Amino acid sequence: MQSILLALAFSGAVLACGDDHGHVVGDGHVHDHAKREFPSVKLTPPSRPLTWGSLNILHTTDSHGWLLGHQKTSFPEPNYSGDFGDFASFVSHMKELAIKKDVDLLLVDSGDLHDGTGLSDGYPVGGVDAQQSNEFFKQFPYDVLAIGNHELYVYNNTLDMHKNFAPHFEGRYLSSNVNITINGVSKPVGSRFAKFKTRKGRAVTALGVLFDFKGNVANTTVQKVEDMVKEAWFVDAIKDEPDLFLLAGHMPVARDNWPLVFNAIRAVHPLTPILILGGHTHIRDCLQLDGRSMSLESGRYMETIGWMSADLPEPKGHHGGYSRHNDEDYSAGSRAAENITFSRRYLDPNRVTFEYHTRRGNFSFDTTQGRSITKGLEQLAKQFDLGFTYGTAPHDFTIYQAPYPANNSLLSLMSEVMPVALTVNNTRASIPNIMIINSGALRFDIYAGPFTKNDQLTVLSYADPFLYIPNIPFSVANGVLPALNGAGTNHRKRDEAVEAELWGRGYVGTRYREWMEDMVRRNAELDGQARFTVAKLTPGYVTTDACPGVGDDTPHAPLEFHSLPKFIASAAPIGLAVDAPIDLVFVDFLEKQLIGILNGLQKDKVYTTADVSKYTNVLATEALGIYAQQKWN
């Protein structure tokens, strides 16, 4: 709590830039975004400069195609309004600063480039997901990249990463425990590991590890982490001591298997610095497994740029002085002489943040490459017709910020969407039904204004079909949703098993919800004056992690949060007899669960997959667009 209040002390900071700066920011001032697609809004500047060490890392993860920035005006979206072109300019200027400070700066990504916006998913028929959006990643000087689970749901996507993406990075795209089978031969999608030297001569051994993912497509394999660390190649890769181990991977830094990799290295090199860059759960998180390591996770959807710095010893064989270049200093090093001083920061990706930390103004910030990337992304959006408008959303519909049911709840909206969208040109439209979808399928909010093709794909990015089972007695079908969302000991045991299965298939919604809920709970525990101070801040992420100091670069008030059911359904038909036959319609993701529940609710029939049929040609990604065309015009 003290760390949150410390951040508030900096919230009134004013951005100081060069004479060419075209604006000021702070209370009462508006940052000029006229050159961008999104409107001008007030943005709070960072609370203090970054801490630079002898080695520094900029980190991205779980970008999921969000390369054009968040363009809506409702908060917290403006916090993340910088596009990939802005980020390219930022990286370029930060590289220049690193050279001036005579330190190392690395750029690392921890996976999940697919599935999330129209730039990755809006490709025409016959295309490959994220193939064109990934071309923009190739324009960045990434030192290490790791594979994510979303690179493994569709074989052609994995094959594209192997053939077209990994070769560009010349051994630095890592898939330590992930293989693809081509013509009967299994081989790594990228590279198992990489060894290289930084600009300052530090020897790095890098790995790219995926969590124990079980939802991968046929002809790809994911080896368990516990088995990977026993492999001969792994033992050989870590045998020689580098200046540091860099572990990039699509695996959360807490409550997962990083300790297996960490301990395997520590058994051979007890004092070598280990820097871990994780991902997957879409949260901001940090911890230290010992005094000579730090583990950082940097959010989702280009809502966070992670920063890590470390005061490492001089590289082997190098002699020369190093003086720290930081304005803030918290230290693991004070605990023991052999510990390393680390810092971490979670940056909101917007031009105010980028210009503040690069000491650039609005007219000197953009690089030629940055402008080119922005233009290229806009051209790709036009090529994919992402601006096509289905209708105009009357107000915001949010997943967590509105209670369910409520008029501004996205879950409530989805309950209305399914009966409209799934019955279009459907011969079963006249047959009473109940339609069910998991709330986790909804990946992003809808904001007031034009509802476009791009918006449709950000909200529901999975092209899942809808299935149905006919002739289910109404009373039985009406009991399925309560059973899915049920409580009690038996239900909890079943839910734990279901949660474990969903985790293995890549579902991260539960961890993200826990994180958001924790922000609101901690805010409620503040005293009155502290809550009053927080209430004056703009909404956004308020991070509490296991590392010392304040992690968030810009102080925010936590977003409103409401718990939500794991499953939602359309309204039940009215006036039916309890034994009236109806259709039970559901997204294919739920087939196994629903069959099990049906067989538990009644004993007259044993349901199997043979009872399941396709309900409509409308896919989940299309449902909201169909609804908007009918209801929002």
Look at the block and give the residue holding tokens 């324009």. Answer: 139
Tell me the pLDDT of the chain averaged across its residues: 90
Q: What is the β-pairing status of strands 178-182 and 220-222?
A: antiparallel
How is residue 267 written in tokens?
């058994």
3-state SS, 169-235, equals HCCCEECCCEEEEECCEEEECCECEEEEECCCCCEEEEEEEECCCCCCCCCEEECCHHHHCCCHHHH
For the record, the structure tokens of 589 come out as 């993701």
Q: Do domains 52-383 and 389-485+565-631 have the same CATH topology?
A: no
pLDDT-above-90 percentage for the chain: 83
Q: How confident is the model at residue 214 (pLDDT cuts 50, 70, 90)?
A: very high
Q: Is the pLDDT of residue 14 over 90?
A: no
The mean-pLDDT minimum among 4-18, 87-101, 275-289, 416-430 falls in: 4-18
Kindly list the domain boundaries of the chain, sorted by start residue: 52-383, 389-485+565-631
- 424: DSSP letter: T
558, pLDDT greater than 70? yes
Q: Give residue 490's pLDDT.
A: 63
Q: How far apart are CA 93 and CA 27, in angstroms?
A: 27
Q: Are 402 and 409 in contact (CB under 8 A)?
A: yes
Cα–Cα dist 411/465, whole Å: 19
- Sheet strand arrangement including 144-146: 173-174, 144-146, 104-109, 55-60, 305-310, 342-347
pLDDT at 498: 75
Q: Say what the alpha-carbon torsion angle 495, 497, 502, 508 is, to the nearest 10 degrees.
A: 60
| 168/252 Cα distance (integer angstroms) | 27
> Please, which residues have CB within 8 angstroms of residue 277's CB and are 6 or more apart in sequence?
57, 59, 61, 108, 110, 146, 246, 247, 248, 249, 295, 296, 297, 298, 306, 308
Say if residues 115 and 577 touch (Cβ distance below 8 Å). Answer: no
CA atoms within 13 A on the CB side of 367: 20
Residue 351 phi/psi, 5-degree rounding, is -70, -30
Burial (CB count <10 Å: 0-12, 13-18, 19+), residue 53: buried
Q: Say if CB 537 and CB 75 are below 8 A apart.
A: no
101: number of Cβ within 10 Å:
18
CATH 3.60.21.10 for the 52-383 domain, yes or no: yes
pLDDT top residue among 528 and 142: 142
What whole-number distance in Å separates Cα of residue 630 and Cα of residue 633?
Answer: 7
Whether 149 has a pLDDT exceeding 60, the answer reads: yes
| Orientation of helix 351-358 relative to helix 84-101, angle to 10° | 10
* Domain 389-485+565-631 falls under CATH 3.90.780.10: yes
Angstrom distance (rounded) from CA 180 to CA 132: 21
Confidence of residue 362 (pLDDT cuts 50, 70, 90): confident
Q: Which two tokens stand for residue 368?
A: 């030629």
pLDDT confidence bin for 496, thresholds 50/70/90: confident
- pLDDT at position 41 is 85
Q: Backbone phi, then psi, for 12, in 5-degree steps?
A: -95, 10
Average of pLDDT values for 201-228?
98
* DSSP β-ladder status, 274-278 and 55-60: unpaired
